[in-house]
Amino acid sequence: MMRLYKRSQPSKFWIYAAPLLAVVLTFLSGLLLFALVGVSVPDAVYAFFVEPLSDRYALAELGVKAAPLIMIGVALSVGFRAGVWNIGAEGQLIVGAIAGSAVALKFYEVDAIWVLPLMCAAGVAGGMFWAAIPALLRSVTNASEILTSLMLTYVAALLLSYMVHGPMRDPDGFNFPESRLFHDAATLPLLLDGTRLHVGFAAALIIVLVVWIFMSRTMAGFSLLVAGAAPRAGVFAGFGKHRAVWFSLLFAGGVAGLAGLFEVAGPIGQLLPGISPGYGFSAIIVAFVGRLHPVGAMFAGLLLAWSYLGGEAAQISLNLPVAVTNVFQGLLLFYLLAADVLILYRFTPEVVTPASGSLNTDTVS
């Protein structure tokens, strides 16, 4: 019989090398998967891994996909390090998009520079409002933020469906469930002409820098880390558990809401029933692959964006289902979690002697 025992000193090398190992194992598993479904492996490798990086436009699309993943992944990392498990960033993204779109449609014919900043503020407020619900439930009733934030995601999806089928539907849209196309004043400026890369990607990089400074160079960031690692010590450091819950959820909700606004005001240009392929859930993988560090989350966001583009390319050129993206993301998370188990714990065989029935433990480091 094998049992797991916590290691007294996990290997620092493997803590940071494990994500790279998980990426390699995911790649090899993907090759095996392509072979098993009867797809030409060279063609699949080119479509999934090479084509998304093949030209200037493709690289710009990588930035478009990576922007919300980086933003939300970095924001979730703050809460996860504080021991606050916000699983509902997808719902916060949706509500932020709805709130920002409401401003765009309210001032539909207004061509003013203040429209877009007001939309951004509404997106942040919408995401924070949606995140405040699990924060309140956690503080007052001690309800798990994992369950409440996750369940609210499905409420947000239903709210989005109601809005595009009802109050926010385009009156000239032939009854299709979509809003009007936003005015030029309500859309994000582009960073590269001839592409869809918008200023949201620059905002994502700014968030990476701000969070890195906050977590590593400020007393508030240090207190937040203490509250997650040792809650009782966090109280003495001035950052109790309730304060950590509120800060982490509101910050992540605000950033997720802003990411949702960037999606509807950027590549989409209107409010639709499906404004996200699951960025809020994929950002959880981004946070853990990035080792809950803002710079690591930035690279992990680019990696996950690569998988989205690769899945779309494989769907078009090889007629593979779009779910191949979810398979790759699931494999990546699986290998990373498996590696973490081996990093943090050791397997120890235990042998039961028939005579006494006692356990003899052979310690293996």
pLDDT tens digits along 49-94: 999 888 899 999 999 999 999 999 999 999 999 889 999 999 999 9
Total number of residues shown for the chain: 365
- pLDDT band of residue 363 (cuts 50, 70, 90) is very low
- pLDDT band of residue 181 (cuts 50, 70, 90) is very high
Mean pLDDT, the chain, whole residue set: 89
- pLDDT band of residue 224 (cuts 50, 70, 90) is confident
Q: Bridge partners of 346?
A: 5
pLDDT score, position 364: 44
Tokens of residue 193, six digits: 């002409």
Q: How far is CA 101 from CA 13, 193, 200, 262, 271, in A?
A: 46, 24, 16, 10, 7
Please state, in angstroms and rounded to a whole number, the distance separating the CA atoms of residues 296 and 185: 34
Interval 280-304: pLDDT, tens: 999 999 999 999 999 999 999 999 9
Tokens of residue 307, six digits: 């998988």
43: Cβ–Cβ under 8 A, 6 or more apart, which residues?
A: 317, 318
pLDDT score, position 259: 97
Average pLDDT of the segment spanning 191-206: 94
pLDDT score, position 75: 96
Interval 137-147: pLDDT, tens: 999 999 999 99
Tokens 């520079």 locate to 113
Please state, in angstroms and rounded to a whole number, the distance separating the CA atoms of residues 278 and 174: 28
pLDDT score, position 106: 93
Is residue 127 exposed (0-12), middle (13-18) or buried (19+ Cβ within 10 Å)? buried
Average pLDDT of the segment spanning 117-141: 96
pLDDT score, position 73: 96
Judge contact between 128 and 240, C-beta under 8 A. Answer: no
pLDDT score of 365 more than 70: no
Tokens of residue 45, six digits: 């490798």
pLDDT score of 167 more than 70: yes
Considering the chain, what percentage of its residues have pLDDT values greater than 90? 65
Least confident of 36-40, 155-159, 223-227: 223-227
Q: Bridge partners of 359?
A: 352
pLDDT score, position 97: 97
Task: Quote the DSSP letter at residue 168.
Answer: T
pTM above 0.75, yes or no: yes
pLDDT score of 361 more than 60: no
Among residues 230, 364, 306, 348, which one has the least CA distance to residue 23? Answer: 306
**Strand (E) positions, 230-287?**
none
Bigger pLDDT: 305 vs 222: 305
pLDDT score, position 324: 85
pLDDT score, position 353: 60
